[in-house]
Each structure stands twice: as structure tokens, then as C-alpha cells.
Structure 1
Amino acid sequence: MLKDSTKWYASWFDTPYYHILYKDRDHTEAHSFMDKLTQYLNLNPGEKVLDLACGKGRHSIYLNSLGLDVTGVDLSPKSIEHAQKFSNETLNFAVHDMCKAYGHQFDAVFNLFTSFGYFDHEEDNLNTLKAIKADLNSTGIACIDFLNVPYILNNLVAEETKVVDNISFDLKRYYKEGHIFKEIRFSDKGEDYFYTERVKAITLADFKQLFEKADIYLLDTFGDYSLSSYHENHSPRLILIFK
């Protein structure tokens, strides 16, 4: 039985099983979201974008196809190794901890698909926001695409089984001590595996407090990938636009 590492996301996100479980992500929806977001931000070809927690680079690769100069960073060496196969002069990838500033300034910084709030230490949420601010140039704008906590808690599917590539993933979800948990159990090739995803249940009010501490200005909020208005109890996403 595999156990979680100290930083659970460092081990789980680096396994092939993470990508198998989530292989059914909607690329059409993701591309449409990037189209709408880049248009809303008025990003022009050649402008520089930092994709924080880029995974295998699906958003980075598409953003680059729109003519943007994209840098994708992630904590997972295996994900970055995969993403680097798609590198070119205006698309680069690197292993990086997003709690720290990358050291270059960008026209936009994106943190997509609930890639925030995983940290073991509470202060790293604030550290990440400060790092994002440091990575923006004087006119740069950032986006965090997060889950909408009130909606998620009201619609939580406590238990389900997903079969992907002949592997049965038994999933259990629950809320405890300010975090939303997903336990993942499965067997493959005679071995049993167990991982736990944990994300802090950060509400819009919580983000506003963090933004104030990080000296960040909230420009707008949206509630889904079509950039519809945000409604606390009905929106599936909490999309934050800030500088």
C-alpha cells in the first residue's frame, strides 16, 4: 500500500495514475476558456504568459498556439519532462515551486484548474500570491481558476467509482477541518494504491483577505468557463482576475 508523501501533491501528481484518472478532461472547454480569457484580458501575440502549475502543459500548448510567448512551470518533474517535448522558441517549461517568484516578469500569470490551496503550510497560500504579484510586469494581470466552495459542498458526490483504462478508481469525497478531501483507492498489476487529494476550502471572502495581505487588487470575478457572472451558491467555479 502506497502512502502519501509529506507533500502529497508532489507524489500523486507525479504518478501516471493521476493522468489516467483525469484523462477525460474536456479539452474543448479548456480551449474555449483560454479563448475567452485571453480576449477578455486583451492579450496580443508575442506577449508573455506564465502558466503556474501547468501539469503536462495542455493550457500552455494551446496558449502558445494563439501566438503567446508561454512559460509553463510545475513541481512535477515527470509532467515537465512530458511537456518539454512540445517546447519551441516561444514555449518553454521548467520545474518550479510556485510559492516562490519565478524571477521574470510577465504580461499575464495564470493558475488554472484548481491548482491552488494544496499546501501543507497555510502561509504558502499567501507566499504564492506574493510570488504571482512579483512575476507581473507593471501592466500585468493574473487569473486564478479555483473551485467555488459553497457550490462544491452543496453538490459533493460522497462516493463513486470511475473505470478508466480498465482500472477501477474508488473515490471518496468529504469536508473536514477547512479542507475538501478526495480519497483515491485502486489496484493495478497486483498492487494496491491509496492517495488523498486535499485542497483548502478557500471562499471568495477568504481570497479577498489574502489579496489584501498580498497587496493585490481584485478586478473581477467569474463563475464558470464562459466567464458568466459569479453567484455564490450556483457557480461551479470561482475565477479571479487581479493585479
Structure 2
Amino acid sequence: MEWFENWFETNYYHTLYKNRDESEAKKFIERVVKRLDLNSGAKVLDLACGRGRHSQTLAQLGFDVTGADLSKNSIEHAKNHISEEIKFIVHDMREPIKKTFDAVFNLFTSFGYFDHVSDNLKVLKSVRSELNPHGSFILDFLNSQHAIENMVSTEMKEIDGCEFHINRYVEDGIIVKKIRIIDKLNSVDTQYFEKVNAFTFDDLSKMMDMAGFEVVDVWGNYQLDNFDKATSERCIFYCEPKL
């Protein structure tokens, strides 16, 4: 079983990331949508939607939203806690959804999870097949060069009575986060992993070209400033299908 099939299904995953900055995420999406100039009612896909927090923002902005994620746990939570107007489905992002969209969003480093480059390329090709000819694709990835140079190798967080002992390192071109969880209340001492390919800007550009995309713009942060290889924390691609 792949690491993400284990980790994303646990409640510990959601506990660890419960304090994410929701206001920053909402403002980022609003900025991107304004830049894309999407019409009200446009059909959009939130790919790797998790529990649907970004899907909800997109729906509030007036779009017809589908949220897709491999985690059954996350999709069940989204169906029970997010607007009924949003369609949530369990889906492997490597396979095309047999619908077309005006925009596809893959946000907050929800790409690069697969060991083989060919599987990650399949994700991009599937997105290409899901977009209408004048659609838009937003891929929000980390700037791997900056992330590696500024990596915090060890960290401990205590959240809701659980200790999360985190180790970060790079192994064979993959950024690895090892997470040991000590939950004394439930007598649990276990560990999980997060792994993401350390794709560079050049790697992603080549993959976009191979998948049939034209790169319109690349931003380096959630304020949509220009990307800089040395200093940007994010590597956010705005692409459209080649015609």
C-alpha cells in the first residue's frame, strides 16, 4: 500500500494540519480566480480536494464545483460537512474523470506523490483530457530548491494530546517527512510518511509540455508575485491546453 493511502485515511493527518491558515488559502484562491477571469457558474475541479475546504471557497465564489480525492475518509467527511451543492467523488488522480471542466485546481502540494515519473505525468495528461479547449489549470507546488535549502530537519508538535515527532530529509530525489506519533491517551506509538518528488521548475515545465500544456504564468507565492528559483517558497503554474 502506498504511503498516501495509509496516512491520508487517518485522523492523525487531520489533527496535525488542523491549524492551517484558512484565510490565506481563501485569499489565494480569490486572487487566482480573478486572474483567470472565470464566469459565474463555470465548471471547476478541485483535484485532491481532501476534506473540501478549497472546494467550499470555490463554490462560495459562484462556481459549479466537483471535488475529487483518493481518500474515502476525506470524501465522506466532505459530503457530511460541506455544502450539498458540491459533488464529491472518490477518485485516483491518475485516471481521467469523464467530464470536462473550465478549470482544474491542484492546490497546496497535492502532486508528485508517485514513485515513478510516468505516474505523475499521467496525472497531468488526465487533467489535460478533462479541460475544455480554453480551460485553465493551476498546479500549486513547492519550490523544491528553496524547500531543501531551508529544510527544518527535526521538529516536535503537541496537538490535542498527541506528540508529532517530525524528521525531514531528502532521499533519491524525494523529499521525505517521517512522522512518529505518540498518542498516550489511546496507547498509540506509530509512524507514517509523506513523500513528494523534488521536482524543479525545469522538471515541471518539461512535464507540462509533454502533457500538452502551454505555460501562461508561474507565481512564486500566494500573493501571485513572479517566481524566482532562489527565493520563492512556491512554484505555482498557470497553464492552458495547447491548441
Offset at 1:175? Answer: 0.8
Offset at 1:34? Answer: 0.7
Instruction: Pick from 151, 154, 179 the counterpart of residue 146 of structure 2.
Output: 151
Instruction: Pick from 186, 189, 192 the counterpart of residue 189 of structure 2.
Output: 192
Offset at 1:87? Answer: 3.8
Offset at 1:213? Answer: 1.5
Q: How far does the alpha carbon of each residue in 1:61-87 deviate from its partner, in whole angstroms, 9 at most, with x for none?
A: 111011111000000001000101224
Instruction: Pick from 42, 59, 67 the counterpart of residue 64 of structure 1.
Output: 59
Q: How far does the alpha carbon of each residue in 1:31-64 deviate from its partner, in whole angstroms, 9 at most, with x for none?
A: 0001100000001210011000000000001110
Is it true that 1:116 corresponds to 2:111 in the alignment? yes
The alignment's TM-score, normalised by the length of structure 1, stands at 0.96
Equivalence map 1:58-207=2 (5 Å): 58-85=53-80, 86-89=82-85, 91-188=86-183, 189-207=186-204
Aligned letter for 2:123? T
Offset at 1:88? Answer: 2.5
Cα distance in 2 for partners of 1:65, 1:199 equals 30
Cα distance in 1 for partners of 2:23, 2:83 equals 22
Offset at 1:196? Answer: 1.1
Is it true that 1:208 corresponds to 2:205 in the alignment? yes
Cα distance in 1 for partners of 2:239, 2:151 equals 28
Cα distance in 1 for partners of 2:62, 2:207 equals 33
Listed as ranges, the gaps of 5+ residues in structure 2 are: none
Q: How far does the alpha carbon of each residue in 1:175-215 deviate from its partner, in whole angstroms, 9 at most, with x for none?
A: 11100000000121112110111100001100111122212
Aligned letter for 1:18? Y
Aligned residues: 237
Corresponding residue for residue 39 of structure 1: 34
- Contact 1:141–1:241 (Cα < 8 Å) also in 2: yes
Is it true that 1:242 corresponds to 2:239 in the alignment? yes
Cα distance in 2 for partners of 1:186, 1:78 equals 19
Listed as ranges, the gaps of 5+ residues in structure 1 are: 1-5
Cα distance in 2 for partners of 1:212, 1:43 equals 24
Aligned letter for 2:220? G
Offset at 1:122? Answer: 2.3
Corresponding residue for residue 217 of structure 1: 214
Percent identity over the alignment?
46
Cα distance in 2 for partners of 1:93, 1:76 equals 11
Instruction: Pick from 217, 223, 227 the counterpart of residue 226 of structure 1.
Output: 223
